[in-house]
Amino acid sequence: SAVISQKPSRDICQRGTSLTIQCQVDSQVTMMFWYRQQPGQSLTLIATANQGSEATYESGFVIDKFPISRPNLTFSTLTVSNMSPEDSSIYLCSVVESRGDQPQHFGDGTRLSIL
Amino acid sequence: QKEVEQDPGPLSVPEGAIVSLNCTYSNSAFQYFMWYRQYSRKGPELLMYTYSSGNKEDGRFTAQVDKSSKYISLFIRDSQPSDSATYLCAMRSNQAGTALIFGKGTTLSVSS
């Protein structure tokens, strides 16, 4: 399966600041997603990153808070804006490699702590 | 009622034991079922991927889906200390690209 790299792997940030997380895949993929994994909670989909157009956000997530880019078929970024302690979480990139009923594969995530 | 229920454990077993992990769900539209294994400080790693009802076996792992009962299981035979991890069930409807709905995960510890 594709190799998915996320940067940074972890960070500690001050409240009110923003952080951009990068997801790089070693091959072209059809779909890219961003998830959040909060302590004691299920992984939750934030949005689907669409190449060349605006991301599709799930209920409860908005573009102003989580702007997403996907300039090509191998790269996407997620920005966590105006961070508060409630944003402390693991943020995960996942991909579907090809069309059809293929499973999602995940990167190792970005562990974010907000002070 | 949550869409996917999974007992968080922790579950502790001795090496060599048979482990049974389970999830129940409420949405009858779910057609694809997955089990992921997540080690500490790592992302979820796909273990099993099944469509509709039935069994699928891969080495020491067997996944079962019972859509009539809305119940899925993962069995691990001859469990090893290296199986110690959190196991996440996930599922989605038939529409490609739709969100995976996850359980909260079961933490498994296998002692030698």
pLDDT tens over chain B, length 112 residues = 679 999 888 999 999 999 999 999 999 999 999 999 999 999 999 999 999 888 999 999 999 999 999 999 999 999 999 999 999 999 998 776 678 999 999 999 999 9
Q: Degrees (nearest 5) of the Cα angle A18, A63, B41?
A: 55
A92 Cβ under 8 Å from any chain B Cβ = yes
Q: Looking at the partner chain, which of A101, A105, A107 has a beta carbon nearest the beta carbon of B96? A: A101
Q: Give CA–CA dist B71/B66, Å, rounded.
A: 5
Q: Among B1, B9, B10, B58, which residue's Cα sits nearest to residue B34?
A: B58
Q: Looking at the partner chain, which of B42, B46, B101 has a beta carbon nearest the beta carbon of A105? A: B46
> Among A8-12, A98-102, A109-113, where is mean pLDDT lowest?
A98-102
Write a three-state SS string for A28-82.
CCCEEEEEEECCCCCCEEEEEECCCCCCEECCCCCCCCCCEECCCCCEEEEEECC
Position A97 scores a pLDDT of: 87
B101 Cβ under 8 Å from any chain A Cβ = yes
Q: Give CA–CA dist A35/A55, Å, rounded.
A: 13
pLDDT band at residue A99 using 50, 70 and 90 as cut-offs? confident
The pLDDT mean for chain A works out to 94
3-state SS class at B112: coil
* B102/A101 CB distance under 8 A: no
The arithmetic mean of pLDDT across residues A49-54, rounded, is 89
Q: Looking at the partner chain, which of B46, B51, B104 has a beta carbon nearest the beta carbon of A42? A: B104
Q: Check pLDDT > 80 for residue A112.
A: yes
A106 contacts in B (CB within 8 Å)?
A: 36, 43-45
A49 Cβ under 8 Å from any chain B Cβ = no
Position B1 scores a pLDDT of: 64
Alpha-carbon distance A43 to nearest alpha carbon in chain B (angstroms): 6
Q: Check pLDDT > 70 for residue A11.
A: yes
pLDDT in tens, A14-23: 999 999 999 9
Per the listing, tokens 């990153």 go with A49
| Cβ contact A63:A55 at 8 Å | yes
Write a three-state SS string for B66-111.
ECCCCEEEEEECCCCHHHCEEEEEEEECCCCCCCCEECCCEEEEEE
Q: Does a cis peptide bond (omega within 30 degrees of 0) precede residue B44?
A: no
The arithmetic mean of pLDDT across residues A34-62, rounded, is 93
Q: Check pLDDT > 90 for residue A40.
A: no
Position B9 scores a pLDDT of: 87
Position B7 scores a pLDDT of: 87
Which residue has better confidence, B97 or A41?
A: A41
Q: Among B67, B69, B63, B74, which residue's Cα sits nearest to residue B53?
A: B67
Alpha-carbon distance B42 to nearest alpha carbon in chain A (angstroms): 5
Strand partners for A49? A32
Residue of A nearest to B43 (CA): A108
